[in-house]
Amino acid sequence: MSIDFPELPASVSSQRVRVAPDVELRVLSAGSGAPVIFVPGWNFSAEVFVHQLTELAQHARVIAIDPRGHGESSKPLTGNSFPQRGRDLAAVIAALELDGVTLAGWSFGVLDVLSYLEQFGDERVARLILIDEPPRVPFDPANPAEWGEAALTHEGLPAYVKFLSTDRAGFLEYIAADALGVAADAAAAEPAVARLIADGARTPEHIAIITGVEGLATDLSGPAAAFAATGKPLLFVAQDAWASDAERWVAANLPGAQFDTIPVHAGFLTAPAAFNARVAEFIG
């Protein structure tokens, strides 16, 4: 059975929000009530949250953004950094006059929401959801207390950078299939993989490389721990494949945080009913 990755329905509205001179972000929204802002990961657009913009919108005001350089947002030559994307997120929150926000970052989108918190604090944020990405991506495999997505080894990191910078199409194909939990030999026959590849291909190569490499050098453990220390609700969601390591890390570094799992990296897209029910419970 194919993964259900439909086009955006008419119930989802779209607007453009100016966040800087000559830079506008596409902002999708649906539903009403307490606002939940979803930020997608590397190269992808707000459209990956189609099931949240339809089903979860029955419980909340669901907002999803295309970060600068992604989807239908402006694609500037400069300013494509996570600190700037944190400022972009602040501009969207201010433009929409939002308070009591639940921020939800997926994959490298975790770095966007944590960058916002580092620069602007949590005054307008009621809850935080971190989806399948630690606040520091690389980890030391020799230290059992650490956990992350990329091992800090001489072999691993150069191979990652070379793959990303010399074969962007192949890297995107790998990421799309992996995010959806589709085996490489079955990816060509899965329409959702092709759809996700096409979505990511809208990001220019220079932005794909910049954000892909910067993510490896970004450590936002501080603002994540600071938010946990406020006592405000925090939900960390990890894919099944590394759930035990992630849960151990969350318990040690984000005390008081709730923990749950999704089947694969983009489990909110492949198994949306369970994910949406968990988020609806979390936001009350």
Please indicate, yes or no, if residue 4 is contained in any of the structural domains.
no
pTM of the full predicted structure? 0.96
Please indicate, yes or no, if residue 157 is contained in any of the structural domains.
yes
Distances (CA, A) of 232 to 116, 130, 161, 258, 273: 16, 14, 37, 11, 25
Is residue 43 scored above 80 in pLDDT?
yes
Please indicate, yes or no, if residue 3 is contained in any of the structural domains.
no
Whole-angstrom distance, CA of residue 254 vs CA of residue 284:
21
Mean pLDDT of the chain, nearest integer:
95
244-268, pLDDT tens digit by residue?
A: 999 999 999 999 999 999 999 999 9
Please indicate, yes or no, if residue 6 is contained in any of the structural domains.
no
Distances (CA, A) of 35 to 42, 63, 116: 23, 7, 16
Please indicate, yes or no, if residue 121 is contained in any of the structural domains.
yes
208-236, pLDDT tens digit by residue?
A: 999 999 998 899 999 999 999 999 999 99
175 is in which domain, residue-wise?
13-283
Please indicate, yes or no, if residue 1 is contained in any of the structural domains.
no
Is residue 96 scored above 90 in pLDDT?
yes
Is residue 152 scored above 90 in pLDDT?
no
Which CATH number fits the domain that encloses residue 94?
3.40.50.1820
Specify the number of domains making up the chain.
1
State the average pLDDT over residues 192-205.
96
State the average pLDDT over residues 113-131.
98
Please indicate, yes or no, if residue 21 is contained in any of the structural domains.
yes
Whole-angstrom distance, CA of residue 253 vs CA of residue 184:
34
Please indicate, yes or no, if residue 206 is contained in any of the structural domains.
yes
Banded model confidence at residue 158, pLDDT cuts 50, 70, 90: confident
Find the range with the poorest average confidence among 133-142, 168-177, 216-225: 133-142
